[in-house]
Amino acid sequence: MWWLISYLNSPELVAAFQRACGLYPAPRTTETGRVRGHDPGNTTASKIQHRKGDLVATGRSLSQDDNSNFNHTADDCKMNQKTPQYEVRNWPLYFLFVVSATLGNEVFYISFLPCIHWNLDPFLCRRLVNMWAVVMYIGQVMKDILKLPRPTVPPVVKLEQRVDAEYGLPSTHAMAATAISFTLLFSARERVQFPFEVGLVLAVLLSGLVCLSRLYTGMHSALDVICGILISALILGITYPHWSTLDVLQLKSPLSPAVVLVLTLCLCYKYPELDHYSTTRGDTTIIMSASAGSSVGYWVNHQLGQTFELTGPFPVTLPPITAVTFALGVARFVVGVSMLVLTRQMAKWASLRVICRCYGVSPSDTIARRRREVEVPYKFCTYLVIGLVNSMGACRVFSMMRLL
C-alpha cells in the first residue's frame, strides 16, 4: 500500500506523463550549461516576495545582508525568465490541457456559473454554487493542514506560477471539476429532459480533462488528483440525499441570510494560519463570499416571488435553440458578465479603501493587504456584492432590457 502511495505521489510519474504528452524541459544552454526549466523564475521570485512579506508582517526588519541576498536571487530569477522554461512538441495537447486547466480558475467560475443562472435555470446555479463552496472550502483547508508539497522541479515542468506557494494534496481543481460536473448532471435530471447517458459521458469527459490538466501543468501529483476526486465523490454521496431539504431551508427559513453570512464569515476568519503567505485563504474567502451573496439573493428572490426559475411540471422539455434565442443568450451573457466585472472593480476599490483606512494602512501596500484583518473583509465584501448582483440584479436588468 505504501509503495503504491509513494508511486502515485512521485514527481517522476508526473514528468513521465508530461513527456508522453510532448512537454519537455527546455534544452541546456551552451553558454551557462544550466538546464532551462530547472527553476522556474516566477516560482522562486514569488517565494522571495512571500518570504520578504512574511518577515515584514511579523515585525522583523530586513537587514542589508537580507536585502542583498533577496535581490541577488531575484536577479538570477529574472535572467531565467528571459528564456523559455519548457519545450512543447505536441501543440494540440498543450492547448487542450491549458484550456482545461482554466476550467478551475476564477474566470471560469465568474462566467460559467452565472451563465447557468441567466440562460438555463437559477435552481441549477444555486445547487452548483452550494456544492462548489463546500468542496472548495474542505479541499483548501485540507491542503493547509496536511501541508504536502507539490511535485518538484526538476523533473517536473511547471506551467503555472501563481499558486505554486500553495500545498498540493488534494487537488481542488479535481474536486471542483468533479463536484460541478456531477452536481449539474444529477440536478438537471430533476429539471429538464435530456439523454442521461450523454450527460454522464460529458461529465466524465470534462472532469477528466481538468484532472489530467493538473498533471500536464505539473501542479499536482497523481495522488493529489485521485484524492481530490475521491473526496469530492464522498461529499456528493453524503450530501445528495439532503439537497432538497437544504433547498427548502435556504429559500424559506427566515434565519437563512443571517446564518449564511455569519457562518461563511467565521469560516474565512478561522482559516488555518500558515508560516508563509499563499493565495489559499484569499481564494477561499472569494468562493465563500460569492456563495453567501448568491444565497442571500436567492432568498430575497423567493420572498419577493420572482425567482426567474423554470416552471413545471418537471422535467420540462427545453425549446429548440433558434437564432433569436441564441442571440438573446449571448446578449444576456455579455451584459451579465459586464455587470459582474464592473461590480468587482467598484466593490474592490471601495471596500479596500474603507478597510485600509480602518487599519491605517495604504491600499497600495501589498504586504498590508495580505494581513488577515485586511484581506478577509475586503475580499468578502467585494465578492458578496458580486454574488448579490448575480442572483438578484442581473435578471432584473435583463427584464428592463427585454432580454428575458
Please answer whether residues 154 and 26 qualify as being in contact, where contact means their C-beta atoms are separated by less than 8 angstroms: no
Q: Helices marked H in 91-153 — which ranges? A: 91-101, 106-119, 122-146
Most confident of 35-49, 63-77, 226-240: 226-240
Task: Compute the average pLDDT of residues 254-269.
Answer: 94
CA distance 25 to 81: 14
Please answer whether residues 282 and 375 qualify as being in contact, where contact means their C-beta atoms are separated by less than 8 angstroms: yes
Confidence of residue 364 (pLDDT cuts 50, 70, 90): confident
- CB-side exposure of 149: number of CA atoms within 13 Å? 5
Confidence of residue 182 (pLDDT cuts 50, 70, 90): very high
User: What pLDDT shows up at residue 163?
Assistant: 66
Dihedral (C-alpha) 352, 353, 356, 357: value to the nearest 10 degrees?
Answer: -160
Report the alpha-carbon angle 184-190-193, nearest 5.
90
Phi, psi of 9 (to 5 degrees): -90, 0
User: What pLDDT shows up at residue 36?
Assistant: 43
- Residue 195 backbone zone (phi > 0: left; psi -120 to 50: alpha; other: beta): beta
Phi, psi of 24 (to 5 degrees): -130, 155
Residues in the chain, total: 404
Most confident of 11-20, 50-59, 269-278: 11-20
What confidence tens digit (pLDDT) does each residue in 109-165 have? 778 888 899 988 899 999 999 999 999 999 999 998 988 888 888 888 888 876 666
C-alpha to C-alpha distances, 183 to 193, 237, 238, 273, nearest whole angstrom: 16, 11, 13, 31
Going by C-alpha positions, the residue among 40, 105, 122, 132 that lies closest to residue 79 is: 40
Please provide the average confidence, as pLDDT, over all residues in the chain: 83
Lowest mean pLDDT among 14-18, 65-69, 83-87, 394-398: 65-69
DSSP lists the bridge partners of residue 25 as 86
Going by C-alpha positions, the residue among 8, 310, 401 that lies closest to residue 169 is: 8
Report the alpha-carbon angle 306-193-116, nearest 5.
45
Going by C-alpha positions, the residue among 180, 182, 191 that lies closest to residue 128 is: 180
Which amino acid is located at 104 in the chain?
G
User: What pLDDT shows up at residue 298?
Assistant: 94
pTM > 0.95: yes or no: no
% of the chain at pLDDT higher than 70: 85
Report the alpha-carbon angle 113-119-121, nearest 5.
75
Confidence of residue 28 (pLDDT cuts 50, 70, 90): low
User: What pLDDT shows up at residue 29?
Assistant: 57
Stronger pLDDT, 69 or 222, i.e. the higher one: 222
Task: Compute the average pLDDT of residues 349-357.
Answer: 91
User: What pLDDT shows up at residue 331?
Assistant: 93
Q: Please tell me which residue in 50, 72, 117, 173 is annotated as part of the active site.
A: 173
Confidence of residue 201 (pLDDT cuts 50, 70, 90): very high
Tell whether the model's pLDDT for residue 363 goes beyond 70.
yes
CA distance 297 to 310: 17
Q: Examine the residue annotation and report whether 220 is marked as an active-site residue of this protein.
A: yes
% of the chain at pLDDT higher than 90: 45
What confidence tens digit (pLDDT) does each residue in 44-83 have? 444 444 444 454 444 444 444 444 444 444 444 444 444 5
Stronger pLDDT, 178 or 38, i.e. the higher one: 178
Please answer whether residues 379 and 286 qualify as being in contact, where contact means their C-beta atoms are separated by less than 8 angstroms: yes
Q: Examine the residue annotation and report whether 242 is marked as an active-site residue of this protein.
A: no
CA distance 324 to 322: 5
What confidence tens digit (pLDDT) does each residue in 291-347 have? 999 999 999 999 998 888 888 788 888 888 899 989 999 999 999 999 999 999 999
Q: Please tell me which residue in 38, 220, 242, 302 is annotated as part of the active site.
A: 220
User: What pLDDT shows up at residue 110?
Assistant: 76
Q: Which letter, b or e, does each residue of 191-202 get, where b requires 16 or more Cβ atoms within 10 Å of its Cβ? A: bbeeeeeebeee
Going by C-alpha positions, the residue among 128, 202, 151 that lies closest to residue 16 is: 151
